[in-house]
Amino acid sequence: MITPEARSIPDLLDNALQQASALVSNEIALARAEMSEKVAHVGRGAAMIAVGALLATPAIVVILMAIASLMVDRGFAPWSANLLTGLVALALGALVIWAGASRFTARELMPRATMDEIRRDRVAVKEMVR
């Protein structure tokens, strides 16, 4: 067996290239695994939102009808009670959509663990080269 002190420069370069190749392969595998996990997380969240919306829609309609009916009993014209109730519901719905959409930004979906690992590897390689 060749001792580390007796290895030639081409052997050392070949070994370094092999280790760098293995490191890149490992980083790619980590990135794939992390992105797969994030996509699955987003998919589960979207499915839960869809089911919740499907279940909540009829209840919201009935509640809005009751609010409009109460407003009519309090002296509003039926058309104005319905319009006001609808506009308030629309505004609240827009706020909820905006809040939900803000959670699907590129920053939220970024593979943070992979990026941290690449930074650590870059520092380690720089230290090894010195």
For 44-72, b where at least 16 C-beta lie within 10 A, e where not — what string?
A: eeeeeeeeeeeeeeeeeeeeeeebbeebe
1 occurs within a structural domain: no
pLDDT value for 88: 95
Q: pLDDT (tens digit, 9 = 90+) per residue, 64-77?
A: 999 999 999 999 99
60 occurs within a structural domain: yes
Q: Who wins on pLDDT, 58 or 7?
A: 58
Q: pLDDT (tens digit, 9 = 90+) per residue, 75-127?
A: 999 999 999 999 999 999 899 888 888 877 767 667 777 778 778 877 877 77
17 occurs within a structural domain: yes
7 occurs within a structural domain: no
pLDDT value for 25: 84
3 occurs within a structural domain: no
Domains contained in the chain, number: 1
Residues of the domain holding 96: 12-129
pLDDT (mean) for 6-28: 81
